[in-house]
Structure 1
Amino acid sequence: MLLQLSAAELGRLIVARAGSSHLPLTEQLIHEHSRLKGGAAGQGDIASWNNSVPVVVKALLDCGLDEVEVQVEVDLPHTNSAVDLVLCGRHPGTGTDSYLAVELKQVRHATVDPLCPIAVDLGFGDGKNKLHPVRQVQRYCEYMVRYLPHLRENEDQLMGVALLHNARDADVEALFGLPETDHGFLYTLDDLARFRRVLTSRFAAASGKRAASALEQARQDPLLKVTDVARQRSVVGGGLTLLDEQYVAVDRITRHLEKTTHFTGFDVGLFYDAEAAHSPAPDAGVKRVYILRGGPGSGKSAVALELQRALGLKGREAVLASGSHAYTETLREIMLSTARRGRTADKRRAANRLYRYFNSFSESPPDSIDVLICDEAHRMRRSSTYRWMPRNLRDDDRPQATELIRAAKVPIFLLDDHQSIRPDEVGTATYLKELAEDMGCDVEVTDLEGTFRAGGSKRFQRWVQQLLGLDASDPVAWRPDGRMTLTVADSPEQMERFIRERHWEGATARITAGFCWPWSNPDGEQLVDDVHIGDWRRPWNVKPEHSVPNAPRSDLWSTDRRGVDQIGCVYTAQTFEYDWNGVIIGPDLLFREGKFKVDRSASCDPAFRSPIDDAIVTRCVLNAYHVLLTRGVVGTVVYAVDPATHNELRRLITGAIGMQHYDGAQPKLTAEGSQLPPAYRRRHG
């Protein structure tokens, strides 16, 4: 949250000053944005503060609601999204806490995409559809209720509105076609009198400080991880609450299926249009390929699972494919765990049919699968040929992606352009788009720009890419943002102790490392301590083809609590996430002359043994560390084996690990620095 003041206090800040292009309120918000978020505010935000916020403040003052508290740019739990305004006060009838979420839009004209009623062109001239403002505030409210138990105590506490204060009804008429709910009403310039009536119905002329304080201090439920979402998929309404472009992507795909399927009564759209669903289905025509691109924690797997769940609830089977052994086997294991007595074999066959690998479609007839969801598509191989494939099926020249596109009526790819980690992995949005278009398909690319990992910190995601040189910027110092805890360990022993303490507290916590040590087969029933740094030695996670007592299989390493006893590699960590993330940067990544450089001679990855161009090895190593560094939900601890590299991390990261006392308890390792997680902050009273 950037700022909280009463309507009366804000009223004094929206009086223009001679010679200034910005209101005093706007100048204060620009300063707060720079201080809290570490960068300049966007022109859209500045224009909204200068032109839109005063409309709401004046409406409050006109209604005599001077003491209502106004919170500006309120962060949603666990994500980088924020509500423009949250008004806090007392209900005039009950005296209970009352809240109004307000999404402000300066648009004057808007049109709805004919293919998707929640995707709209708001007239910005960028050619990109946005989420319908009403749906946007509805989802924001649902998200707040989901993760803030305080708002669940009374379902009437929270209301949401989208205020288009510059637009006339006639110029945005199409927007009124979306059903309104208590979490989302639409008001325009023609409706300001109605908007004021909403204010007086929600708030009494009394102080809103108590309600504002209760909301700010409310306990937050933990973020559901991908595996949690998977376990809930058989429950109606289970899964993740999708936001913004996630929601548009899923609804657009399911709506496309509604309009092209021959399946009678198919109505899986997250927004159901009864008239459209029961109209004659048009010819499917040209095959359409969907590509959803997003960075770590952008919700790609959640979208994949939610899409498969929504289809399954309507009796439509969607196959989810991946190139990740750990991911696929974990999903199969979860489904198998739901088998009833005597039905294990049937459930295993169903799991193997619904969760498959990219290389299992070589013999699939064209269009034999209705919907094929390809998660982790950055792990797409050049071809499906593998070591044990029968000679008559080998075809090194046929791209693996063509097999997947050909096999499905509706192919969907979810990927991150910076997560291919093997030399023969070619899955990028550009590659797939060009290949699909060459096959005569229409292609739709959607960017998932939200961040649900790292406490919703987009700054952390950008920082990792800058650190590794994955964008045009040079490495920069980490500026804590209150969302993600980033700290440096002085030794692997210190990192391990810190990670284990988080594990003992009940958090999920793991250590991973670059592939710079051999990976031995087990010695009988014991893992070999391959990872050694000085006197510290620990084993890698179990190899996929082996099993060891008291250690999880490789595909369950990130989700089985016993995984804390082994060091994970990128092949077992990719796709998954855990609360606390320890990362050991091996000698294959060295900081020299102002940037990271790859030393391929220090890598023990067998994928680099054959003659491979240095540029490809560099890409794979940098992407592997990009994966490892972005697994954490709450915090990340790093340690570099190379002294010069470790010193550079020390320079760029202010957080340290050290011994401190909290509330008179025994000393324990904690993340120091200005951004301590709430659990470690001293509580008074």
Structure 2
Amino acid sequence: MLLQLSAAELGPLIDVEGESEDTQLTQKLRALHQDIKGRPASPGDIASWNNSIPVVVRALLARGLGGVEVQIEFDLPHTSSAVDLVLCGQRPGTGEDSYLAVELKQVRHASVDPECPVAVDLGYGEGKNKLHPVRQVQRYCDYMKRYIPHLQRIEDPLTGVALLHNARDEHVAALFDLHETAHGWLYTLDDIDRFEGILTSKFTDASGGRAAKALAGGRWYPLRKVTDVARQRSVTGGGLTLLDEQVVAFDRITRRLERAAPLSRVGLELFYDAEAAHAAAPASGRKHVYILRGGPGSGKSAVALELQRELGLKGHEAVLASGSHAYTETLREIMTGSARRGQLAEKRRASCRLYRYFNSFTDASPDSVDVLICDEAHRLRRNSTDRWTPREVRDDDRPQAIELFRAAKVPIFLLDDHQSIRPDEVGTAEYLRELALDHGYSVSVEDLEGTFRAGGSKQYQGWVQQLLGLGTVSDPVGWRSDGRMALTVADSPEQMEQFILERASEGATARITAGFCWPWSNPNGDELVNDVRIGEWHRPWNVKPQHEVPNAPKSDLWSTDRRGVGQIGCVYTAQTFEYDWNGVIIGPDLLFRDGMFRVDRSASRDPGFRGGIEDQVVERCIRNAYHVLLTRGVVGTVLYAVDQDTHNELRRLIPGTIGMQNVDGARPRLTAEGSQLPPAYRTRRR
């Protein structure tokens, strides 16, 4: 969070003094924002601090609740989202810890998207709908209860409200149609007295310091990963909690399915508020292509699996397709692993039907799949031809995406424009959009802007893209911690390995990956070959596909099987997955020269780059591959570069190191050193 003070302490800070346009509180918050996040606060943040926070503080003081602690911009665990205010105090009558999450909106007018009642135009002039503020705070509260153990130990400790303190009821009337719950109530300028009533029902005048400390200082439950929701696909409440743009995207798609049901014969009854889907299905029955674009950890796979899971709970079948062998086989393995006695064959058949590959639809009949969810769509290939394709059809130049468009009544694509890693992979949002329009389909492109990886650090995501020259700016800059994740540099591969093994022994998920700069040999009998060699240190790659070795997982399961920590993973086995601690060895295919990182294709051993592949294509693939490897970590990432000049540059850019410490009186162990290590690392006990 940015700041925590009691309402009584905030009272003197919410007035403007002298010629400044900002309150004393805003001046303080601007300095904290710059210091903690390394960038200036946005105009929207500043306006909220000046105009919105004082409304809440004055309401607390008016009701004699000066002891209530106010946490400003409370960070949600593991994600880039934050609650505007969390009020912490003691509950009347019991004295138990009590909390109120407050989302502040300065809007005066609002309208609801007729096709999606949780997507609203709040008049910000951005040309993009936002998540309904009531649904936003409801999801935030659900998320907090899921990941903060302290909130599960008390009965009904948390309430949520959206406060539109400038708006009159009549000007935002459409927002009241959304169902309210204890985790999400809507208050406007006409409801300030009622809002103050909520405050007195939640808090006494006693100090909220104990409650605030328990909320901000407690540990978090580990982040649920995409494989976790796959394991719990049939469990009510077992899915991932979607937030912000994820909710809007999910709702738009599912409501479109409902409206399309009479035309497509997809009998879906999924929605909590079906009558709110005002728009009728288009009479022409024109097929609509959905594209969801987002960076690493933005929740693409979460949306994909939640869509499939929700459909499954309602008795409807959606197929999830991917171009990743590891991802598809892991999902199949999870499904067959839940088979009871006598069900294995049936489960295996179902898993092969529900989890498929992009090239599985070459001969599919038109509209033979009700809902086709194409995850990892950046791995779409130009066409589905491969070495097993019959000779008589190898000249078919039909794009692979067209096969998917045609096969599905409702085609959905989820992708990252910077994660295609082979020369023949063409999946970008623009490519799919143009192809769909050229073939007469309607298209929508939604962006997922948050992140659930790297401790929710959007700053880290941007830093990686700038480091690798994937964004508009290619100058690498020094890493400045935002307190959400740990980024360190190891002195040697031996030190990195020891650190990763220690984290794994403590119960964290941890892996080492490397650029594809060493040969990848077949097993020598029952033994893996130590192909990755750096000085005296040598380790094997993960098991090659089509091979099995005792005491090591198959390649598809390297990221999720605990035995995977014993091998070095490559980009093909790491993509899609995540683990708490991420060790990355940068090989000699990425070198720091003349002030920037440059690609040396001659150092790559990737067989996909053989032949007449253009240099710019190889460069794109190698940079994207490191983009994938550097963004797998949930808690922290440790780097080591083989090339000395490159390693020196990492040392210059990254202040974090690894050192030997005595922790809590236990035996000395390697720890990540540096300022502002994330709470998920500081406090996690397993």
Note the 1:381-420 alignment, pairs <5 A.
Answer: 381-420=381-420
Residue pairs, 1:352-431, within 5 angstroms? 352-431=352-431
Question: How many angstroms does 1:679 deviate by?
Answer: 7.7
Deviates more, 1:552-561 or 1:280-289: 280-289
* Letter aligned with residue 268 of structure 1: L
- Closer, same or farther in 2 for the Cα pair 1:275/1:160, shift >3 Å? closer
Correspondences of 1:133-532 after superposition (within 5 Å):
133-262=133-262, 266-269=268-271, 271-273=272-274, 283=283, 285-473=285-473, 474-532=475-533
- Following superposition, the deviation at residue 306 of structure 1 comes to 0.4
The CA distance in 1 between the partners of 2:506 and 2:158, in whole Å, is: 33
- 1:487-546 C-alpha deviation (Å, 9 max, x unpaired): 001111111111111111111111100000011111111111111011111111111111
CA-to-aligned-CA distance 1:2-41 (integer Å, 9 cap, x gap): 1111111111001211211111010000011111111110
2:538 aligned with 1:542: no
Deviations 1:217-247 (A, max 9, x none): 2221110111111111111221100001101
Q: What corresponds to 2:39 in structure 1?
A: 39
Q: TM-score, normalised by structure 2?
A: 0.97
The one-letter code sitting in structure 1 at the alignment partner of 2:82 is: A
Q: What is the alpha-carbon distance in structure 2 between the residues aligned to residue 439 and residue 202 of structure 1?
A: 57
Partners of 1:355 and 1:681 lie apart in 2 by 38
Q: Is the 8 A contact 1:662 1:680 kept in 2?
A: no
**Structure 1 residue 155: deviation in Å?**
3.5
Residue aligning to 1:62: 62
Deviations, residues 430-468 of structure 1 (Å, cap 9, x unaligned): 000000111111111111111101111111111110110
In structure 1, the partner of 2:94 is 94
Residue 512 of structure 2 aligns with an amino acid whose one-letter code is I
CA distance in 1, matches of 2:639, 2:149: 33
Whether the aligned pair in 2 keeps the contact of 1:557 and 1:568 (CA below 8 Å) is yes
Q: Give the whole-Å Cα distance in 2 for the aligned partners of 1:443 and 1:680.
A: 42
Task: Assess, with a 3 A threshold, how the Cα gap between structure 1 residues 682 and 407 changes in structure 2: closer, same or farther.
Answer: closer
Offset at 1:663?
A: 2.7
The residue aligned with 1:643 is 644
Deviation at 1:66, TM superposition (A): 1.4
Change (3 A) 1:679 1:6: closer
Per the alignment, do residues 393 and 505 of structure 1 end up closer, same or farther by CA in structure 2, a change over 3 Å counting? same
1:273 Cα deviation from its structure 2 partner: 2.3
The question of whether the paired residues in 2 share the 8 Å contact of 1:455 and 1:633 is answered with yes
Query: Do the aligned residues in 1 keep the contact of 2:532 with 2:539 (CA within 8 Å)?
Result: yes
Structure 2 letter corresponding to 1:328? T
Which SS does the other structure have where 2:482 is aligned? Answer: coil
Q: Which residue of 1 aligns with 2:628?
A: 627
Mapped contact 1:484–1:634 kept (Cα < 8 A): yes
Letter of the structure 2 residue corresponding to residue 446 of structure 1: E
Deviation at 1:355, TM superposition (A): 0.5
- The residue matched to 1:261 in structure 2 has which SS? helix
After superposition, the C-alpha distances for 1:295-324 in whole angstroms (9 at most, x for unaligned) are 001111111000000011112110000000
* CA–CA separation in structure 2 for the residues paired with 1:290 and 1:677: 36
Provide the secondary structure at the position in 2 that maps to 1:476.
Answer: coil
CA RMSD of the aligned region, Å?
Answer: 1.6
Q: Distance in 1 between matches of 2:241 and 2:657?
A: 34
* 1:206, distance to aligned residue in structure 2 (A): 1.5
Determine if contact 1:147/1:220 at 8 Å carries over to the other structure.
yes
- Judge conservation of contact 2:384–2:399 (CA < 8 Å) in 1: yes
Percent sequence identity is 74
Whole-angstrom CA distance in 2 between matches of 1:284 and 1:661 = 70
SS of 2:674 mapped into structure 1: coil
The answer to whether the 8 Å contact 1:663/1:682 transfers is no
Conserved 8 A contact 1:231-1:334: yes
For the 8 Å contact 2:531–2:539, the answer to whether it is kept is yes
- Distance in 2 between the 1:470 and 1:264 partners? 40
**What is the Cα deviation at residue 276 of structure 1?**
5.4
Deviation at 1:265, TM superposition (A): 6.4
- Cα drift, residue 281 of structure 1: 6.4
> 2 CA distance for matches of 1:369 and 1:264?
10
Residue of structure 2 equivalent to 1:667:
668
Q: Is 656-665 or 580-589 further displaced after alignment?
A: 656-665
Could you tell me which residue of structure 1 aligns to residue 602 of structure 2? Answer: 601
1:439–1:682 Cα change, 3 Å: closer
Match of 2:638, SS state, is strand
The whole-number CA distance in structure 2 between the counterparts of 1:409 and 1:653 is 49
| Whole-angstrom CA distance in 1 between matches of 2:514 and 2:110 | 50
SS at match of 2:117: coil
The one-letter code of the counterpart of 1:494 is Q
- What SS does the corresponding residue of 2:340 show, helix, strand or coil? coil
Q: Secondary structure at the match of 1:117?
A: strand
Paired amino acid for 2:125: G
Change (3 A) 1:627 1:101: same
Deviation larger for 644-653 or 519-528: 519-528
| Aligned residue in 2 for 1:50 | 50
Q: Is residue 261–residue 284 contact of structure 1 (8 Å, CA) maintained in 2? A: no
Q: Aligned equivalents of 2:492 and 2:632: distance in 1?
A: 20
Hey, what's the Cα distance between the residues in 1 that align with 2:68 and 2:7?
6
Contact 2:245 2:449 in 1 (8 A): yes
Which letter does structure 2 place at the counterpart of 1:163?
Answer: L
Q: Which residue identity lines up with residue 296 of structure 1 in the other structure?
A: P
Q: CA deviation at 1:660?
A: 1.6
- CA 102–179 in structure 1, closer or farther in 2 if over 3 Å, else same: same
- In 1, are the aligned partners of 2:115 and 2:277 still within 8 Å (CA)? no
Deviating more after overlay: 247-256 vs 204-213:
204-213
- 1:14 corresponds to: 14
Q: 1:552, 1:402 → 2: CA distance?
A: 35
TM-fit CA distance, 1:364: 0.4
In the alignment, what sits opposite 2:73? 73
How far apart are 1:392 and its partner, in Å? Answer: 3.3
Q: Residue type matched to 1:574 in 2?
A: Q
CA distance in 2, matches of 1:415, 1:303: 12
How many pairs were matched up?
Answer: 681
User: For residues 615 and 281 of structure 1, do their structure 2 counterparts lie closer, same or farther at Cα, with a shift above 3 Å needed?
Assistant: closer
Matches of 1:276 and 1:478, distance apart in 2: 46
SS in structure 2 opposite 1:525?
A: coil
- On the 8 A contact 1:260/1:284 being kept in 2, the answer is no
Normalised to the residue count of structure 1, the TM-score between the two structures is 0.97
Quick one: distance in 1 between partners of 2:507 and 2:13?
A: 46
SS of the equivalent of 1:403 reads helix
- Measure the CA separation in 2 of the matches of 1:152 and 1:550: 39
- In structure 2, what is the Cα distance between the partners aligned to 1:70 and 1:675? 22
Deviation at 1:274, TM superposition (A): 5.1
Instruction: Quote the offset at 1:394 in angstroms.
Output: 2.8
